[in-house]
Homo-oligomer: A and B are copies of this chain.
Amino acid sequence: MTDLDLSAAELAELEANFAYPLAVSPQVQDLLFREARTAYAFTDQPVSDEQLRAVHDLVKWAPTAMNAQPLRIALIRTPEARERLLGHLAEGNKAKSATAPVIAVLAADLDFHDELPKVFPVSPGARNAFSDEQRREQSALFNSALQIGYFLVAVRAAGLAAGPMGGFDADGVAREFFPDGRHRVLLVVNIGHPADSAFRPRLPRLGYDDVVTTV
Contacts and interface: CB of A to CB of B under 8 A. Distances in A.
Interface of A: 21-24, 28-29, 31-34, 36, 38, 48-63, 65, 67, 69, 71-78, 81, 115, 118-122, 141-143, 145-150, 152-154, 157-159, 162, 164, 166, 177, 186, 203-206, 208, 210-215
Contacts of A177: 213, 215
Contact of A61 (B33, B76, B212): B33
B56 A212 contact: yes
Given A33-B154, A121-B204, A146-B148, 6 more contacts: A24-B24, A49-B214, A60-B205, A143-B145, A146-B152, A149-B150
B142 A54 contact: no
Contact of A58 (B34, B81, B120, B213): B34
A36 B150 CA distance: 13
Given A142-B186, A213-B75, A22 B54 contact: yes
10 contacts: A21-B48, A21-B51, A22-B54, A23-B157, A33-B62, A34-B61, A38-B63, A52-B212, A62-B153, A141-B141
Given A73-B211, A146-B148, A214-B77, A21 B158 contact: yes
A23 B31 contact: yes
B211 A56 contact: yes
B77 A215 contact: yes
Contacts of A52: 212
B21 A31 contact: no
A188 to B, nearest CB: 12
Nearest to A153: B153
Contacts of A59: 33
Contacts of A29: 58, 157
Contacts of A141: 141-142, 145
Contacts of A213: 72-75, 177
A76 B213 CA distance: 9
A134 to B, nearest CB: 14
Given A21-B51, A203-B120, A32 B75 contact: no
